[in-house]
Amino acid sequence: MADKKPRIFLSPPHMSGYEEEFVEEAFASNWIAPLGPQVEMFEKEICEYTGARGALALSSGTAAIHLALRLLGVEQGDIVFCSSLTFIGSVNPILYQGAQPVFIDAEEKSWNMSPVALQKAFNWAEAAGRMPKAVIIVNLYGQSADYEPLLEICDYYGVPVIEDAAESLGATYHGKASGTWGKFGIYSFNGNKIITTSGGGMLVSDDTEALQKALFWATQARDKALWYQHSEMGYNYRMSNIVAAIGRGQLRVLDDRIQARRRVFERYKEELGGFAGIEFMPELSSGYSTRWLTTLTVNPDICGVEPLEIIEALGRENIESRPVWKPMHLQPLFKGCKYFTHGDKESISDYLFARGVCLPSGSSLGWEDQVRIIEIIKQKIAG
């Protein structure tokens, strides 16, 4: 225990040095709070990077989803479709609006929303006369969902899409930025994402009028008056100038971070991909993944080891790894919610949860540390 190595995290922050320059600019101009030029520049730079027409910097990705739902008129008693295999942040805003989530399964080829399951859900909704007000499609672990078939279905029913690109900033699908395929897209700059502002989010859309309305709500819905006057309910959801300054520094190196994460993935794949019973999350041929997290499935019948045993073995060496997201339809919070599977009975997200492992994937992960991780896993598989 004496030579216990420093902890290796799943996805730690990775600063570039530019962040301090922009933060210093903000300090020098005494523009500490609340809004200011850094926020506007950050929004402009996100638009340039993603090709979105408009962007609104917010306190979190969850806040961005909440505003998108409200913009789409989601209210008490409404239904919203959402990917089941995701982080709770995708779904909580549905509850904030008093609406009801209906969960949609994943497909094997992308681990993202299954068009087959989505069609089933629409068939049910149509028969029940309860059409959803919105569909939240999540892009998991750095990879865009397969939007062509998904949007074809949503367009057919005339239901708008919110793209949860919290984990996929920098990815593309048919060459177009992840986050720009839906009516609204959201990004997160939480501490573990591919770039971070310590915490924050962004709402993007080509509908700049809608973003103006979201800005109004995000800043306590102040009417135009000298005094503080309010006719609508609002929130304190805006990003601060200091946080935006960090974001600008991070955005400068986003492409380097993507390259680094993809290299981390390639090494894992080279070293572990040959073992029977180990499968990596596939990449769509029409997409480009950032490989935010390297994720794989372990078949215990072939490998002779349970995924959790690998996670525990790494944990004993002070290395953080995790199971894949626990699907929302399995969460106690959502007991009784409707769920539509990809197969007749087979649920892909249950399968991925039972077998999936997320490995340390930070852009700052060193070669020697990664070798150590790989050796521990090899020993478990071979042992």
Ligand X SMILES: *Cc1c(COP(=O)(O)O)cnc(C)c1O
Residue 178 Cβ, how far from ligand X at the closest point, in Å?
12
User: Taking CB under 6 A as the rule, which mask of x and - marks residues 160-199 in contact with ligand X?
Assistant: ----x-xx--------------------x-x---------
Q: Render the burial of 51-88: b for 16+ CB within 10 Å, e for the rest.
A: ebebbbbbbbbbbbbbbbbbbbebeeebbbbbbbbbbe
State the minimum distance, in angstroms, from the CB of residue 108 to ligand X. Answer: 19
The answer to whether 102 and 82 have CB atoms below 8 angstroms apart is: yes
- Which of 11, 50, 90, 290 binds ligand X (CB under 6 A)? It is 90
Tell which one of 87, 181, 237, 334 touches ligand X (CB under 6 A). Answer: 87
Subset of 290-349 contacting ligand X (CB under 6 A): none
Nearer to ligand X, 107 or 164 (CB): 164
Contacts of residue 126, defined as CB under 8 A and 6 or more positions apart, other chains included, come to 157
How big is the site for ligand X, counted in residues (CB under 6 A)?
Answer: 14
Output the smallest distance, CB 317 to ligand X, in A: 26
Q: Which stretch, 59-67, 74-82, 246-254, 373-381, contacts ligand X (CB under 6 A)? A: 59-67
Shortest distance in whole angstroms from residue 166 CB to ligand X: 3
With 0-12 / 13-18 / 19 or more C-beta atoms within 10 angstroms meaning exposed / middle / buried, residue 92 is middle
- Regarding 241 and contact with ligand X (CB under 6 A), the answer is no
Q: What is the C-alpha separation between 149 and 168, in angstroms, rounded?
A: 19
Q: Determine which residue in the list 89, 93, 170, 249 makes contact with ligand X, applying CB under 6 A.
A: 89
Between 13 and 61, name the residue whose CB sits nearer to ligand X.
61
Sort 10 into a burial class: Cβ within 10 Å, 0-12 / 13-18 / 19+.
Answer: middle
Rounded to a whole number of angstroms, the minimum distance from the CB of residue 102 to ligand X is 17
107 near ligand X, rule: CB under 6 A: no
Interacting residue with ligand X among 138, 145, 162, 310 (CB under 6 A)? 138
Interacting residue ranges for ligand X, rule: CB under 6 A: 60-62, 86-87, 89-90, 138, 164, 166-167, 188, 190, 201
